[in-house]
Amino acid sequence: MDTIERKTLLNKSGLGFWCINAVQGCSHGCRYPCHAFMLARRYGRVRDLGDWCRPKLVSNALQLIDKELRRKRAVDCVHMSLTTDPFMFGQPEVASLSLQLIERINEAGIPCSILTKGTLPVELADAGRFDAKNTYGISLVSLDEPFRKRWEPGAAPYADRIAAVRALHDQGCRTLVHIEPYPTPNVIVQDIAAMLGQIAFVDHIFFSGWNYNSRVSDYAARDAFYAEQTLVVEEFCRERGIEFETIG
Ligand code: SF4
């Protein structure tokens, strides 16, 4: 895999939380579109989607994190990742680097929050190596594989994602599912209850709609649809004692 060097790794995002992105690009190649890809193209870091889908490891990531953890105070939690995926499907070098980074951050007494459209490695349940306060999450907006192949072509099959997060839950880890960007019925007709039924074991569910896509914004009943689906997810969580979160 190609590599790049960075000057910094641990940064506070515009959303107010600490995050690291130890890879440039992402082989998942999401077509929602991917906001990180659009920014990388605008600032000349990648030429096109093909370039974006050939990830480049940050070769000095471990040195940077060691240095920055010594210097930066008041880091309460580190999120992985905002502009790439820490457990990119079929990319063992990315997964290996991410595991080492989580381990170093946890050794400094700081928990991590992980979100992936890949498969979470079961090693993360090793309490001797990783902080029990870590949160392990998957993104999931459908159970329909043709939908995944259309919109998240390089990402892990939905069943594999769910099985991986379930394995961590079964070993006592804190887990979450991030349902965003949830599609409107003019993109795919689906019953959110079926998806919720597959993830009823998790500790936390985030739900939100789909931005950056004209097909969704053109859907006349968009606001009413999202208001209704939000209530369905909220009620599902309330009945099962699952933490619920949405925007606004
Ligand atoms: S998984 Fe995230 S970073 Fe990777 S292409 Fe999809 S939206 Fe972009």
Q: Is 88's C-beta closer than 6 angstroms to any atom of ligand 1?
A: no
What pLDDT does 71 receive? 87
Q: Which amino acid is at 76?
A: D
Strands 243-246 and 18-19: unpaired
**pLDDT at position 211, please?**
84
Q: How far is the CA of 28 from the centre of ligand 1 (A)?
A: 6
Q: How far is the CA of 162 from the centre of ligand 1 (A)?
A: 18
- pLDDT tens for 89-146 read 999 999 999 999 999 999 999 999 999 999 999 999 999 999 999 999 999 999 999 9
Supply the pLDDT for residue 209: 95
Q: Quote the tokens at residue 15.
A: 């959303």
Return the pLDDT at 148: 98
Do residues 28 and 88 lie in contact, with contact meaning Cβ atoms separated by under 8 Å? yes
Q: Mean per-residue pLDDT for 11-35?
A: 95
Ligand 1 centroid to residue 4 C-alpha, Å: 19
Closest residue by Cα to residue 13 from 81, 113, 107: 81
**What tokens were used for 14?**
């515009």
The pLDDT value recorded for residue 166 is: 98
Q: Which atom of ligand 1 is nearest to the CA of 26?
A: 4
Nearest ligand 1 atom, CA 32: 7
3-state SS, residue 7: coil
Whether the pLDDT of residue 248 is over 80: the answer is no
Q: What are phi and psi of 28, to 5 degrees?
A: -70, -30
Residue 244 has pLDDT above 80, yes or no: yes
pLDDT over 90 (residue 48): yes
Residue-wise pLDDT tens digits, 191-231: 999 999 999 999 999 999 998 788 888 899 999 999 999 99
**pTM given for the model:** 0.96
- Give residue-wise pLDDT tens across range 142-172: 999 999 999 999 999 999 999 999 999 999 9
Query: Count H helices, E strands: the chain?
Result: 9, 11
Measured in Å, residue 20 CA sits from the centre of ligand 1 at 15
